[in-house]
């Protein structure tokens, strides 16, 4: 297991996460396991989003997030967060999440989901084709960019964009993902309120793990969503 090192809020990231990229990253003050390396050739062990910390831990993490205005930093493109990368065999990150989050998923010889069904936690819809599913970054790539990731290396951003170990990637309906876009919880929440507890815990854990900032409205919305955990 990687050693956690607390550095300044702008120095970013987790040493263990760089197993994906092969370079050392810095850590936020959170204990977490390292993501799987692309070289590890194994199928996912669970069938759902890796569980975030419980509500009590999430509340504590929320109080430690650096609060700052998040202006659009010039230079963002999705290409600066390379994805989807090969995880094992012919399977890339998208296909791994589709298999993990779906039911009765059948893959073809190129690891593509040929059939199956997916329940979208954001809006409660069941989707019967992988073409109707997006893999959402719980903390969107552009949101990460404007809250600290603009200072990361490309390898660090690649690790973030393909993180299968933490609560960062989930299969949801394409419609809900595109409604969300790059919005933080101050501007968008899942329409299914029963998922607010999990979503807020996941968002907070990712921001805490990757030492990303949050703005005032985002923090207020996350606290409101955590209240649904009670």
In this predicted model, what pLDDT tens digit does every residue of 18-55 receive, in sequence order? 343 333 333 333 323 333 333 333 444 445 799 999 99
Does residue 196 have a pLDDT over 90? yes
Does residue 183 have a pLDDT over 70? yes
8 Å CB contact between 12 and 66 = no
> Helices 55-64 and 196-209, interaxial angle, to 10°?
40
Report the pLDDT value the prediction gives residue 71, as an integer from 0 to 100: 84
In the chain, the percentage of residues whose pLDDT exceeds 90 is: 77
Residue 23 structure tokens: 């370079």
Question: pTM of the predicted model, to two decimals?
Answer: 0.81
Q: Where are the domains of the chain?
A: 50-229
Nearest Cα to Cα of residue 1 among 20, 15, 12: 15
Per-residue DSSP letters for 111-157? S-EEEEEEE-TTT--EESSGGGEEEEESS-HHHHHHTTGGGS-HHHH
- The DSSP code for 92 is E
Does residue 152 have a pLDDT over 90? yes
Does residue 150 have a pLDDT over 60? yes
Report the pLDDT value the prediction gives residue 26, as an integer from 0 to 100: 38
Distances (CA, A) of 89 to 85, 105, 109, 131, 158: 11, 17, 10, 22, 19
8 Å CB contact between 23 and 15 = no
pLDDT tens digits along 212-229: 999 999 999 999 999 999
Report the pLDDT value the prediction gives residue 91, as an integer from 0 to 100: 98
Higher pLDDT, residue 6 or 154: 154
Query: Please, what sign has the CA dihedral across residues 138, 51, 40, 208?
Result: positive
* Element of type H or E holding 102: strand 102-107
Phi, psi torsion values for 206, nearest 5 degrees: -70, -45
Report the pLDDT value the prediction gives residue 47, as an integer from 0 to 100: 57
């Amino acid at each position: 297991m990687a050693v956690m090192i607390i550095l300044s809020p702008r120095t970013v990231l987790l040493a263990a996460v760089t197993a994906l990229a092969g370079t050392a990253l810095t850590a936020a003050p959170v204990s977490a396991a390292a993501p799987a390396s692309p070289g590890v050739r194994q199928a996912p062990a669970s069938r759902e989003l890796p569980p975030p910390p419980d509500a009590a831990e999430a509340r504590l993490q929320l109080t430690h997030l650096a609060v700052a205005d998040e202006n659009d930093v010039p230079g963002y493109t999705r290409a600066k967060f390379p994805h989807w990368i090969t995880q094992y065999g012919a399977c890339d990150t998208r296909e791994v999440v589709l298999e993990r989050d779906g039911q009765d998923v059948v893959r073809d010889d190129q690891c593509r989901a040929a059939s199956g069904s997916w329940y979208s936690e954001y809006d409660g819809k069941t989707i019967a084709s992988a073409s109707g599913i997006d893999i959402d970054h719980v903390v969107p790539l552009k949101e990460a960019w404007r809250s600290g990731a603009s200072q990361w290396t490309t390898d660090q951003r690649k690790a973030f964009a393909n993180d299968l170990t933490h609560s960062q990637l989930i299969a949801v309906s394409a419609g809900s993902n595109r409604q969300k876009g790059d919005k933080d919880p101050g501007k968008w929440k899942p329409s299914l309120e029963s998922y607010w507890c999990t979503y807020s815990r996941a968002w907070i854990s990712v921001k805490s793990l990757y030492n990303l900032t949050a703005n005032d409205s985002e923090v207020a919305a996350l606290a409101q969503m955590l209240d649904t955990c009670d």
